[in-house]
Chain A
Amino acid sequence: MLPSVIMNSDKSDHSGKFFNWREKAFPYLLIAPAIAVLLALSIYPLLYIIKISFQTGSGESIKWSLSNFTRLFSDSFFRDALLHTLIYAIVALTFEFLIGLGLALLVDRPLRGRNVFRAVLLIPMMLPPVVVGVVWRLMFNPNFGAINGTLKSMGANTDALTWTASPALALASVIAVDVWQWTPFMFLILLAGLQAIPQEPYEAAMVDGANWRQTFFHVTLPLLKPAILIALLLRTMDLLRVFDQIFILTEGGPGFATETVSLYIYRAAFRFFDFGYAAAMSFVLLALTNAISYAYIRLLQRQETA
Chain B
Amino acid sequence: MKATANHARRSSLTRVARYALLAVAVCVAIAPVYWMLTISVKTEVDQFASPPRWFDFSPTLAHYIDAFSTRSFGSFLLTSAIVAALSTLCAMTIGTLAAYALARFRLPAGLNKRLSLWILSTRMFPPIVTAVPLFLMMRDLRLLNTIGSLVVVYTAFNLPFVVWMMIGFFRELPRELEEAAMVDGDSRLGALRRVVLPLAAPGLAATAVFCLIVSWNEFLLALVLTQTEAAMTLPVGIAGRVTQYEIKWGVMSAAGVVAMMPILVFALSVQKYLVRGLSLGAVKG
Interface residues of A (CB under 8 A from B): 1-2, 6-7, 9, 11, 26-28, 30-31, 33-35, 37-38, 40-46, 48-49, 52, 103, 106-107, 111, 117-124, 126-131, 133-139, 143-144, 146, 149-150, 152-153, 180, 184-185, 188-189, 192-193, 196, 227, 230-231, 234, 237, 240-241, 243-244, 247-248, 251, 262, 265-266, 269-270, 275, 278-279, 282, 285-286, 289-290, 293, 296-297, 299-301, 303
Residue of A52, A107, A192, A237 with most chain B CB atoms under a 10 A cut-off: A192
Partner of B132, one of A119, A150, A247, A282: A282
Q: Which residues of A contact B216 (CB under 8 A)?
A: 128
Interface size class of B (residues with CB under 8 A): 35 or more
On chain B, the residues within 8 Å of A296 by CB distance are 124
Question: CB within 8 Å of A: which of B189-241?
Answer: 189, 213, 216-217, 219-220, 223-224, 234-236, 238-239
Residues of chain B within 8 A of A184, CB atoms compared = 29
A243 touches B220 (CB 8 A): yes
Given contact pairs A27-B107, A33-B97, A247-B223, a sample of 9 additional A-B residue pairs in the complex whose CB atoms are under 8 Å apart: A2-B189, A9-B189, A129-B235, A134-B238, A227-B283, A243-B220, A248-B242, A289-B126, A299-B282
**Bound-complex Cα distance A75 to B107 (A):** 49
Q: Roughly how many angstroms separate A177 CA and B264 CA in the complex, as a whole number?
A: 19
Provided the pairs A42-B130, A123-B264 are in contact, do residues A117 and B125 lie with their beta carbons within 8 angstroms?
Answer: no
How distant is A252 from chain B, measured CB to nearest CB, in Å? 11
Residues of A within 8 A of B21 (CB): 106
Contacting residues, chain A, for B131 (C-beta < 8 A): 266, 269
0/1 per residue, B41-58, Cβ < 8 Å to A? 000000111111010000
List residues of chain B with CB under 8 Å of any chain A CB: 18, 21-22, 25-26, 28-33, 35-36, 39, 47-52, 54, 93-95, 97-98, 100-102, 104-105, 107, 113, 115, 117, 119-122, 124-137, 152-153, 155-156, 159-160, 163, 185, 187-189, 213, 216-217, 219-220, 223-224, 234-236, 238-239, 242-243, 249, 252-253, 256, 259-260, 263-264, 266-268, 271, 274-275, 278-280, 282-285
* Assembly CA distance A248 to B33 (angstroms): 16
Whole-angstrom CA separation of A126 from B278 in the bound complex = 11
- B130: chain A residues within 8 A (beta carbon): 41-42, 45-46, 49
A150 touches B243 (CB 8 A): no
**B139–chain A nearest beta-carbon distance, Å:** 10
Looking at the complex, which one of A44, A138, A227 makes contact with B36 (CB distance below 8 Å)?
A: A138
Total contacts A-B at CB 8 Å: 289
CB closest residue in chain B, given A107: B22
Chain B residues lying within 8 Å of A146, measured Cβ to Cβ, are 31-32, 35, 52, 54
B contact residues around A122 at 8 Å (CB): 267-268, 271, 274
Q: Which of B26, B94, B105, B278 contacts A121 (CB 8 A)?
A: B26
Cβ distance B17 to chain A, nearest Cβ, rounded Å? 9
Select one of B33, B122, B219, B263 contacting A244, CB under 8 A: B219
A46–B238 CA distance with the chains assembled, in angstroms: 30
The answer to whether A37 and B94 touch across the interface, beta carbons within 8 angstroms, is yes
* Assembled-state Cα–Cα distance A153/B115 (Å): 60
A189 touches B52 (CB 8 A): no
Which of B104, B120, B127, B249 is in CB contact (< 8 Å) with A297? B120
B213 touches A126 (CB 8 A): yes
Contact of B50 among A40, A130, A139, A153 (CB under 8 A): A153
Q: Which of B117, B120, B127, B155 contacts A241 (CB 8 A)?
A: B127
Nearest-Cβ distance from residue A5 to partner chain B, whole angstroms:
11
